[in-house]
């Protein structure tokens, strides 16, 4: 035994100071490895749709209903199962409805409590008693543990459990106890949550989603480009701030910034009214602005135009600072001929502009902000940087997030791996060096973290600019297109100019050789591994399948965002990975929580097994299992050191 190994075992001995304690831990870890693996839940491209997100979390993408089926089989009608499932999803709301219709609430409480206890027993059975105990609600932990634990020493078990349930009802705690059991089932049915990016933008509730994720028991997040642009805004990167403002105004979601994060929009509103007072700003109409009155809508369009112009200017400044981004084709402000009303490209092609009123544009330097724009930017930047709630949300993204994740044999990321047309990894220049594949992801992620944690202003600005590049750069793994045609979609009517060409990755998803090479690049076995990603909606209505390359690639963006549902035909895909295999769920559009409670509507339309195993996967077959095996081997060496007298036991 060398000195390094001895030092490590001495540190381990501080945790397990006796042969008995080390032996007990080995037995404990070995037993955990033989439990069924926990259920993993995958979501992607939530885009601020909090209510739909919340419902999918509550129902575990059908996992709760499956537990009910497992427990009751044909002993309960489909109607009763549906009612029980709704109660588990929305216990408070469902009981309010039941009270209005049910004549004998005491009997209903008793039946319901027994049903929930049975579901809870099954749900908890795949975990150690210690893990279940940690998940129990504090107020009812002891009672719930008694009800879901088999007690061999009790001769008349039925009478024992009856007395507990009767007492719960008699002292008026049935309603609270039902809520506690329902929330415990929701908590236990999913062991770990994966969010594959794009929590922000389009929908009205990303801040509520982040609040919910901050309380979630176990999760990881793969950043999407919409998340990264918010991260850039949070550190005060000007182009990212204007992009966040533009997206919020475009989708009529300014409330997220004003009410959700408390960022004052008055400086922007004042500037927009003064600068575009007589401009109808018709090109900058807002989507989803039905709740605004005429004056609010008119002001919103002026603000929308103001931030869009500022965004184009600030993006131009970044592109000029970074020739290695190779984005000179996006320097479009200098190519506008406002007198003739056209955009003139280097190849001589001209496009008619839909708007030529740009009073803050200096023809000599079109990317320079006017004095008024600089003042607006300064005040709003202060709002972003000093918003405690926003900074807490970004801290969660940093703590639980990254650009990719390798987890239990699956490669998770939001967008795409930049590829050449022949399927080889594309080299991308970042800060003067070239990277590809996994190293590209690692380098870009390092810059994201540097932007938040570096103490050097020059480094913060450089990494902040790279954050913007991750949002919209042609070789960004989170964007995956040759350009973001924002300018063209606003100011040119020619649809051909709006076209964005996807990276070769998306054309090669059915090429097994390419997919296998990507799995190998990230250290996975091509025979067993899967790529799971989101970002580009799957158009189910056109016959497109989310399952590619014989099941090796699964794309789970099916249109959570209402903005996409007309073209996707559904309201999103989610994925479950339990001890039996991978199960893909397609979701129906979500109406409201109220409708889900009253009509007992669920939103899982169908579930398809992507990969099914004949034998259940155990904890020992997972990444956690591999770590446990390593710890067991270390503990065995510690036992040997104790028995040989190399390390002395510390009996207290």
> If DSSP codes are grouped into helix, strand and coil, which group holds residue 590?
coil
Q: How far apart are the first and last CA of the chain?
A: 27
Question: How many other C-beta atoms are found inside a 10 Å radius of the C-beta of residue 153?
Answer: 5
Question: How many other C-beta atoms are found inside a 10 Å radius of the C-beta of residue 173?
Answer: 16
**Phi, psi of 544, deg, nearest 5:** -75, 140
| Confidence (pLDDT) at 25 | 95
Render pLDDT for 558-573 as a digit per residue (tens, 0 to 9): 566 666 555 544 567 8
Render pLDDT for 146-205 as a digit per residue (tens, 0 to 9): 888 876 555 566 888 889 999 999 999 999 999 999 999 999 999 999 999 999 998 899
**Phi, psi of 194, deg, nearest 5:** -110, 125
| Confidence (pLDDT) at 156 | 65
Tokens in use for 445? 């992620």
Q: Are 22 and 635 in contact (CB under 8 A)?
A: yes
Question: How many other C-beta atoms are found inside a 10 Å radius of the C-beta of residue 2?
Answer: 7
Angle at 255 between CA 213 and CA 594, to 5 degrees: 60
Cβ contacts of 171 within 8 Å, gap of 6 or more: none
Cβ contacts of 316 within 8 Å, gap of 6 or more: 330, 331, 333, 334, 366, 367
CA neighbor of 119 nearest in space, from 60, 171, 159: 60
| Confidence (pLDDT) at 610 | 78
**Phi, psi of 127, deg, nearest 5:** -115, 160
Cβ contacts of 21 within 8 Å, gap of 6 or more: none
Q: Average pLDDT by consecutive 10-residue portion of the chain (652 residues)?
A: 90 94 95 93 92 90 91 93 94 94 93 95 90 91 87 66 91 94 95 95 94 96 97 98 97 94 96 96 83 86 98 98 95 95 89 97 95 97 97 98 96 95 96 96 98 95 97 95 95 93 93 97 95 77 79 81 55 85 82 80 71 86 95 96 92 68
**In the block, residue with structure tokens 């993408």:** 61
Buried b (16+ CB within 10 A) or exposed e, 469-497: bbbbbbbbbbbbbebbebbbebbbeeeeb
Entry pTM: 0.93
| Confidence (pLDDT) at 559 | 62
């Amino acid at each position: 035994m060398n000195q390094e190994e001895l030092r490590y075992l001495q540190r381990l001995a501080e945790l397990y100071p006796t042969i008995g304690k080390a032996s007990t831990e080995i037995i404990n870890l070995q037993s955990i490895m033989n439990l069924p693996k926990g259920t993993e839940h995958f979501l992607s491209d939530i885009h601020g749709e909090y209510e739909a997100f919340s419902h999918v979390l509550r129902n575990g993408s059908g996992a709760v209903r499956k537990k009910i089926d497992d427990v009751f089989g044909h002993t309960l009608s489909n109607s009763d199962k549906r009612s029980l499932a709704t109660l588990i999803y929305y216990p408070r709301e469902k009981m309010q409805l039941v009270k209005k219709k049910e004549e004998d609430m005491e009997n209903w409480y008793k039946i319901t409590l027994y049903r929930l206890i049975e579901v809870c027993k099954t749900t908890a059975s795949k975990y150690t008693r210690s893990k279940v105990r940690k998940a129990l609600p504090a107020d009812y932990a002891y009672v719930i543990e008694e009800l879901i634990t088999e007690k061999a020493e009790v001769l008349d078990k039925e009478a024992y459990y009856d007395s507990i349930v009767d007492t719960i009802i008699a002292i008026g705690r049935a309603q609270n106890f039902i809520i506690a059991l329902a929330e415990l089932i929701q908590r236990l049915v999913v062991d770990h949550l994966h969010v594959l990016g794009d929590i922000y933008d389009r929908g009205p509730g990303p801040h509520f989603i982040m609040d919910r994720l901050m309380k979630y028991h176990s999760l990881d997040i793969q950043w999407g480009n919409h998340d990264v642009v918010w991260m850039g805004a949070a550190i005060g990167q000007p182009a990212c701030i204007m992009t966040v403002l533009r997206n919020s105004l475009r989708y009529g979601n300014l409330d997220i910034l004003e009410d959700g994060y408390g960022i004052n929009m008055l400086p922007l509103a004042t500037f927009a009214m003064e600068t575009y007072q007589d401009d109808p700003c018709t090109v900058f109409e807002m989507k989803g602005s039905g709740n605004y009155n005429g004056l609010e809508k008119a002001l919103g369009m002026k603000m929308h135009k103001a931030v869009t112009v500022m965004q184009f200017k600030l993006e131009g400044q970044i592109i000029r600072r970074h020739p290695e981004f190779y984005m000179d084709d996006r320097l479009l402000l200098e190519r506008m001929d406002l007198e003739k009303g056209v955009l003139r490209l280097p190849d001589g092609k001209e496009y008619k502009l839909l708007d030529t009123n740009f009073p803050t544009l200096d023809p000599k330097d079109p990317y320079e902000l006017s004095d008024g724009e600089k003042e607006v930017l300064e005040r709003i930047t202060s709002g972003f940087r000093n918003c405690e709630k926003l900074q807490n949300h970004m801290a969660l993204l940093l703590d639980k997030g990254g650009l990719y994740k390798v987890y239990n044999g699956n490669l998770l990321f939001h967008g795409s791996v930049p590829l050449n047309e022949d399927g080889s990894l594309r080299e991308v220049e970042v800060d003067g060096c070239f990277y590809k594949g996994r190293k590209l992801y690692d380098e870009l992620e390092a810059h994201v973290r540097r932007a938040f944690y570096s103490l050097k202003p020059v480094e913060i600005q450089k990494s902040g600019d790279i954050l913007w590049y991750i949002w919209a750069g042609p070789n960004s793994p989170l964007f995956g297109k040759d350009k973001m045609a924002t300018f063209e979609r606003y100011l040119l009517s020619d649809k051909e100019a709006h076209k964005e060409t996807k990276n070769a990755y998306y054309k090669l998803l059915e090429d097994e050789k390419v997919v296998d090479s990507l799995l190998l690049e990230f250290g996975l076995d091509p025979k067993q591994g899967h790529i799971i990603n989101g970002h580009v909606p799957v158009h189910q209505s056109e016959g497109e399948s989310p399952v590619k390359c014989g099941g090796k690639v699964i794309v789970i963006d099916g249109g959570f965002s209402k903005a996409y549902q007309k073209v996707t035909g559904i309201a999103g895909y989610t994925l479950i990975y339990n001890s039996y295999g991978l199960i893909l769920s397609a979701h129906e559009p979500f109406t409201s929580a109220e409708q889900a409670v009253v009509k007992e509507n669920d939103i899982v339309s169908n579930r398809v097994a992507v990969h099914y195993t004949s034998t259940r996967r155990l904890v020992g077959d997972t990444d956690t299992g591999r770590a446990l095996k390593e710890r067991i081997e270390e503990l065995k060496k510690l036992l040997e050191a104790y028995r040989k007298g190399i390390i002395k036991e510390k009996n207290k």
